[in-house]
Amino acid sequence: MSTKKLLGFIVVLILLSVFGAFGLMSLILLWANANYGLAIILGVLLVSIAFVLINPKGYPYRYMIPAMILLFILTIYPMYYTFKTAFTNFGTGHLFTRPQIIQKLLSNYYYVPENPEEYSFSVFVKLKDYKPTDDFMIIFRSLSSNELFIAPKPAAVQKDSEGNILLAESRMFSVKNDRATVNGVLYQLVRSSQDNSILSVVSNSGEKYMYFYSPDDRTTKSNAPFYLSEIRGIWLKNAEFTNPMGQQVRLNPNRLFTDFATSERKYGIKVITSIESGRAVQKNVVYNKKTGRVLIERDGYFYDIDDNGQEFAVDGYISNIGFKNFMKMFKDPRISGPFVKIFIWTFTWAALSVLFTFTIGLILALVLNDKKLKGTKIYRTLLIIPWAIPAFISVLVWKNGMFNETYGIINRFIVMGLFGAEKPIKWLSDPFWAKVAVLLVNTWLGFPYMMTITLGALQSIPDELYEAASIDGATGFQRFRKITFPLLMIAVAPLLVGSFSFNFNNFVGIYLLTGGGPAIPGSSTPAGATDILISYTYKLAFEGRGQDFGFASAISILIFVIVGGLSWLNFKLSGAFEEVNR
């Protein structure tokens, strides 16, 4: 091996080692976070890339590595994740795993016990340009012993996806002789010479916190809005302070949050022994510390029992539910009725869209293909405009300019103006006319494409065939039926199948024009009269009163099976790939 090749091999080996180390670390992290599907896919991808780069037989595939990475990440994993989600209850109320929900139950729920230690409190803030900031300290006074404690601003420990604080923690430090050491910093309480009230808190480093608010002091009432919005509303409502005895102290809901009190975790874990199939089995369960009752687990929920003996859902977690998402498409009458209507309309919409666009496109192509017609370039340019303009712009123009019930051009100048109708057509609020509207707009957007491909196919048909047919005495219609249409379909049939598949999932045209509406009465899901399966899936996942990702994923699988099956069947029957197979 030459020196140049050896250096190249070493460089490739180093790069592969770095890439492999990074990939292996990512794989371990994914597996540790229970993301097994993505971890397995990443592992297969790493092994495949290593094989292609190291094995000489894999040399021709080296240039496919970027495409392979994108294939695994953007296609294979989403397919796996959709398939996995379809068999779960993932959605509103079931957004986290069971271990995550148990951790939430153990840390986020608390109660105030009987005879708690209560504390009044005062807030001291740091000023900037004579204005209060959210940098504050709190002085607590025990209502039982009159002992003082001081606590710094709590630190955020948990936040939600929007950045709201779910849990903030801080410690309370004892104040002796108006002095306290907080995290290694000495603080001094400065009192008034008149009434001995605390005016400020000053550190040995020069920081100064001024007395700002106390619920028991009416003179600070003007500062209440800032306290409620910037201090309590953000930091204290979910803050947990630990006193020197190790107890948790929170705002006291029994006193309308006007003082603090010691609190205890509401839920805990304990081991119970039960008899299953004649054997003693020990298992961990979540229980209510206040009542001693074990929480009931059912259908992906933890249920507790209130003081009246009624069950109530505490929190839900993601659980496998088998084929329930698929079965409720047909068994739940509140879902199956609207779903069947949407299912039928999706096929109708796709078929009519292809029929209308192809028919108009074919007629225009036959006209433009006439060699006797002058100015064909101008006509082609004008007819291609609906295709050239972005679809979302055209749809919005049709929606607001054409189909507006009061000021729309169609109602104002044609329906009520030209034909003298007394009432306008409810294009977007009546189920029938809404379907007519979406078909009109989709035909407008799609006929230029059909005209273009049909025109190209027509020009590829030899003129000798028409000349021979004319000699045999064939009429124009016979030439079209026997020559033009059969030869045209050989080239156009695959594109018609592709157009059907496109319109089957044509989300933009439906959603921008009608939003899937008008709503179907009596439906328990956000189903509309013009919804197709893909828009219905989107609304299930991201709109309505709650998200149902599991059900949406099940419908996505159904869409995939339908489109894939119909495409295969149409290609098979039309013989679109006949020449390729030969």
Residue 408 shares a structural domain with residue 540: yes
Last residue of a domain, one of 70, 85, 100: 85
What is the per-residue pLDDT across 160-186, written as a single tens digit (0 to 9) for each? 878 889 889 999 999 999 999 999 999
Residue 339 shares a structural domain with residue 464: yes
59: in domain: yes
Residue 564 shares a structural domain with residue 425: yes
Q: Is 90 helix (H, G, I), strand (E, B) or coil?
A: coil
Q: Rounded to 10 degrees, what is the CA torsion of 342, 348, 350, 353?
A: -130
355: in domain: yes
Predicted local distance difference test score (pLDDT) of residue 242: 95
Over range 39-52, report the average pLDDT: 82
Query: Between residues 338 and 17, which one has the greater pLDDT?
Result: 338
Predicted local distance difference test score (pLDDT) of residue 573: 65
What is the per-residue pLDDT across 327-337, written as a single tens digit (0 to 9) for each? 988 888 888 88
Predicted local distance difference test score (pLDDT) of residue 72: 84
Q: Give the integer Cα–Cα distance in Å for 349 and 200.
A: 73
Residue 533 shares a structural domain with residue 442: yes
Nearest CA to 306 among 266, 270, 273? 266
Query: Between residues 402 and 2, which one has the greater pLDDT?
Result: 402
CB-based burial, 295-304: b 16+ in 10 Å, e otherwise: beeeebbbbb
Residue 419 shares a structural domain with residue 490: yes
Domain count, the chain: 3
Q: Give the integer Cα–Cα distance in Å for 190 and 174.
A: 16
Residue 259 shares a structural domain with residue 340: no
307: in domain: no
Residue 418 shares a structural domain with residue 567: yes
Residue 119 shares a structural domain with residue 73: no
Which strand (E) or helix (H) includes residue 151? strand 148-152
Backbone angles phi, psi at 93, to 5 degrees: 90, -10
Last residue of a domain, one of 51, 85, 119: 85
Query: Between residues 529 and 418, which one has the greater pLDDT?
Result: 529
Residue 79 shares a structural domain with residue 115: no
304: in domain: no
Q: In what order do the strands lie in the sheet with 311-316?
A: 296-298, 301-305, 311-316
Residue 353 shares a structural domain with residue 435: yes
Q: Which residues pair with 286 in a beta bridge?
A: 269
pLDDT-based confidence at residue 501 (cuts at 50, 70, 90): confident
Over range 14-32, report the average pLDDT: 82
Q: Give the integer Cα–Cα distance in Å for 99 and 65.
A: 37
96: in domain: no
Q: Give the integer Cα–Cα distance in Å for 529 and 510.
A: 11
Domain at 491, CATH number:
1.10.3720.10
Residue 129 shares a structural domain with residue 80: no
145: in domain: yes
pLDDT surpassing 60 at residue 579: no
Last residue of a domain, one of 230, 245, 265: 265
Over range 110-136, report the average pLDDT: 94
Predicted local distance difference test score (pLDDT) of residue 580: 47
297: in domain: no
Residue 461 belongs to what domain range? 328-576
Residue 79 shares a structural domain with residue 116: no
382: in domain: yes
The mean of the pLDDT values for the chain is 88
- Could you give the percent of the chain with pLDDT greater than 70? 97
